[in-house]
Structure 1
Amino acid sequence: MRTFGVEEELLLVDSTSWRVVPRVSSLMNHYGQQLPQTAQNLPSDPPSPEFTGPRLATEFQQEQIEVISRPHSSVGDLAADIRTGRALADSCAGEVGARTAALATAPLPAVPHPAPDARVGTMTVRYGLTAREQLTCGCHVHVSVDSDEEGIAVLDRVRIWLPVLAALASNSPFSQGADTGYASFRGQAWSRWPSTGPLEIFGSAAAYHRTIEQILATGVVLDKAMLYFDARLSNNYPTVEIRVSDVCLDADDTVLIAALARALVETAARDWRSGKDPEPVPVAILRLAAWQASRWGTEADLLHPVTGVPCKASDVIGLLLEHVSDALADYGDEARVRHLYGQLLQRGTGARQQRDGLERTGSLEGVVAEAVRLTHSQNLDIIHSGTGRKETS
């Protein structure tokens, strides 16, 4: 069974004004006091034995905190880790008069403060306003692969499905005090970086690594950590890292995205082993599919993953569920995924919940306050499920 884990970026908001606040350094001081003396706390390090649960790490801006789960085999264990990690971050934030909110952009006006880090400083100078304004929170799913060769085979085959994940996770309609008109404005803001977006089909690990070398040789990106593709081979773990999703307002949606991502990886690997070629969809069409998902989320047509023609969002999501159904069934995740998707359909994505919150409360402050509550709600009813593997007689 493939292991998988999640990295969630959360906003730090003042517990009175509900505006983002640059308190990550103080938060991390409180967090450090809870750690074993031998524990490392660098996001680039594999989890050390001292970490028996999720861990916290700093991000690009001081108004953010990252929560990193451990790798898990079962959906239930990952769900519990996500809840525990969010609670840990919020507890440490509470020590410095803040709360954590799973919002992919800041609804209220904000001026971010870059982390006091040499690399961040270099990026701020080199990339100007793009870096200074960067305040978005994503959800990255890591899924284990056996080798770089398998990993590239997976990247070649999951690329057409990633806009669907982005639509399901859309959670950034407001930014800088305004309704952007997008379900995921984070997707638009993130695309300003020079190395974002979908990749072409590589066919081999050697071709992928040659492309990486060519990109780095241009000097446009600072290093490998700045390869912000929609999906990539992880720089630090033996995983494929899927990076298209907004951080999800409801942790249930995070679990849904993670389970679908693992099923996509498993399905792609099986297709590769069986000799099935990837669908040759041009990058230009994938960019349009990503834009459509960013604009509307699940509330208008999405582009068909193979033909590129507009189709009902529910039909395209249905195609995704059908595509990964065997992998979901084999992992024992099919009922859970359909349950979680049914919940999402009933209440809407994070973007819909935020807009509904504005209608109820009449203010963006009310939206953020409600988002804090939803970030830490305990609605998930599958946390204590078993291993997740299908029972056989």
Structure 2
Amino acid sequence: MDAGTGTADGGRPLENTGDRPTVGVEEEYLLLDPDSGLPLPRVDAVRAIAGLHPAIHHDELQNELLQAQVEVATPVCRDLDEVGGHLLRLRHALAQAAETSGCRLAACGTAPYAPSVPPEIVDAPRYHTIRQVVSLLADEAMINGMHVHVAVPDPQTGVEVLNRLRPWLPVLTALSANSPLWYGSDTGYASWRTVVFGRWPISGIPPHFADAADYERRIDHLLEARLIRDRGQLYWQARLSAKFPTVELRAMDVQLRADEAVMLAGLVRALVVTAIQDAAAGRPPAPRTPESLEGAAWHAARYGLDDTLHDPDTGLSRPAGEIVRGMMDRLGPVLEALGDTRAVAPLVHRLLSEGNGADRQRRYLAEHGRPGLIAMIAAESAAS
């Protein structure tokens, strides 16, 4: 599921390089039966086969809560071409291993079809404890996200970034929405993963923090009160990594296409750099209330890019295309300075024109039925 297990924050530590912070990406995938589209508990076989691939490092493959899931983590990357190369390499190796194991790799935010019995969890003490604590939520954990780590120089800067990213999280949810189907039905939501993940404790948009000390005090209280067992169980859509000097954005569904994952990684890095610049210049975060942000997050998960989004500055509703184009205008100079414009801008325009993953899943299901949908998901997930 979407990091609900509190697993590692990435394959290897990220580091900061001045005005060009490094970036890393984690992706979670499902393993589906090629005919029925039902999740198959084949993670051990898939990881064993993929781990023999000479281009795969063992740190890059990770378990998730369910045996029908697998997670990857890229190495530290200095530019988006590196991110794309690693994601394609990892997806291709896992897709081959999945096919050898009799299943298909699926980069979709939810399992479009699911068995009537609860899914099998990975046989490890941590996962059994989580299953015991969260009960039915573990049975609904067939959800996949992508997490983007961006290096920050220190925790105080990281908290300044978190405070300024909060209004942008719904926009990222809308852009990345890729989970409209659940247990064989169209949910009516663009990102049903966001709704399911929001049921977990300490989730959703993070609160505003006074400073890094306030961040630490509040987490220490959650630990002391035994509301979480460790910092991996902070399920906020954005948080500071417990292991590495990074801000981790977790508001996004995993992407059908690797190039769209790269685009989102570029947007996240540009948002982080912009937030750092704003903090250094003394520009305060947008004055958004918690209820306004939670409402905007629900709206983004419900409608994706098909309706309106809420302006990160004012909180007022405007057409989604206007919000996205305004974001690109704001981030344009930073994207150019980072050398990321080419990998981001054309993909954003394509997304506005062709729709996000949720739109494509719905179209394929309507035009080609269940077999066509599963074939499309597998083909786009493994495309190189």
Q: Would you say same fold, with TM above 0.5?
A: yes
Q: Is the 8 A contact 1:56 1:89 kept in 2?
A: no
Letter in 1 for 2:92: A
Q: Is the 8 A contact 1:9 1:102 kept in 2?
A: yes
- State the SS of the aligned residue for 1:123: helix
1:22 CA displacement: 0.4
Match of residue 373, structure 1, among 376, 379, 382: 379
Please give the per-residue CA displacement for 1:56-94, whole angstroms capped at 9, x wherever unaligned: 111111110111111111111111111111112112212
The answer for the alignment partner of 1:3 in structure 2 is: 22
Q: Is the 8 A contact 1:67 1:89 kept in 2?
A: no
With 287-296 and 332-341 compared, the bigger mean Cα shift is at 332-341
Partners of 2:53 and 2:362 lie apart in 1 by 37
- State the SS of the aligned residue for 2:236: coil
Verify: 1:78 aligned to 2:83, yes or no: yes
Partners of 1:323 and 1:281 lie apart in 2 by 19
Verify: 1:326 aligned to 2:333, yes or no: yes
Partners of 2:143 and 2:76 lie apart in 1 by 24
Partners of 1:82 and 1:156 lie apart in 2 by 29
Match of residue 45, structure 2, among 26, 31, 36: 26
The answer for the alignment partner of 1:389 in structure 2 is: none
The answer for the alignment partner of 1:235 in structure 2 is: 242
Match of residue 192, structure 1, among 199, 202, 207: 199
Match of residue 112, structure 1, among 119, 122, 129: 119
Partners of 1:262 and 1:291 lie apart in 2 by 24
- State the SS of the aligned residue for 1:362: helix
With 215-224 and 270-279 compared, the bigger mean Cα shift is at 215-224
Please give the per-residue CA displacement for 1:343-367, whole angstroms capped at 9, x wherever unaligned: 212221000000000111123x321
Match of residue 89, structure 1, among 88, 94, 109: 94
The answer for the alignment partner of 2:167 in structure 1 is: 160
Q: Is the 8 A contact 2:53 2:93 kept in 1?
A: no
Q: Is the 8 A contact 2:33 2:39 kept in 1?
A: yes
Q: Is the 8 A contact 1:188 1:294 kept in 2?
A: yes
Q: Is the 8 A contact 1:9 1:67 kept in 2?
A: yes
1:24 CA displacement: 0.3
Letter in 2 for 1:7: E
1:234 CA displacement: 0.8
> How do 1:82-231 and structure 2 match up within 5 A?
82-110=87-115, 111-231=118-238
Match of residue 16, structure 1, among 35, 44, 58: 35
Please give the per-residue CA displacement for 1:220-275, whole angstroms capped at 9, x wherever unaligned: 22321110111001122211000000001121211111000000000000111111
User: 5+ residue gaps in structure 2?
Assistant: 1-19
1:18 CA displacement: 2.5
Please give the per-residue CA displacement for 1:26-75, whole angstroms capped at 9, x wherever unaligned: 112223434799x763xxxxxxxxxxxxx211111111011111111111
User: How many residues get paired?
Assistant: 363
Letter in 2 for 1:128: S
- State the SS of the aligned residue for 2:31: strand
The answer for the alignment partner of 2:11 in structure 1 is: none
Partners of 2:225 and 2:136 lie apart in 1 by 21
Q: Is the 8 A contact 2:51 2:58 kept in 1?
A: no
Partners of 1:27 and 1:251 lie apart in 2 by 20
Verify: 1:263 aligned to 2:270, yes or no: yes
The answer for the alignment partner of 1:336 in structure 2 is: 343
The answer for the alignment partner of 1:310 in structure 2 is: 317
Q: Is the 8 A contact 1:18 1:369 kept in 2?
A: no
Q: Taking structure 1 as reference, are residues 307 and 130 closer, same or farther at Cα in structure 2, changes over 3 Å only?
A: same
Letter in 1 for 2:38: R
Letter in 1 for 2:75: R
Q: Is the 8 A contact 2:266 2:343 kept in 1?
A: no
Letter in 2 for 1:162: L
TM-score by length of 2: 0.91
Identity %: 37
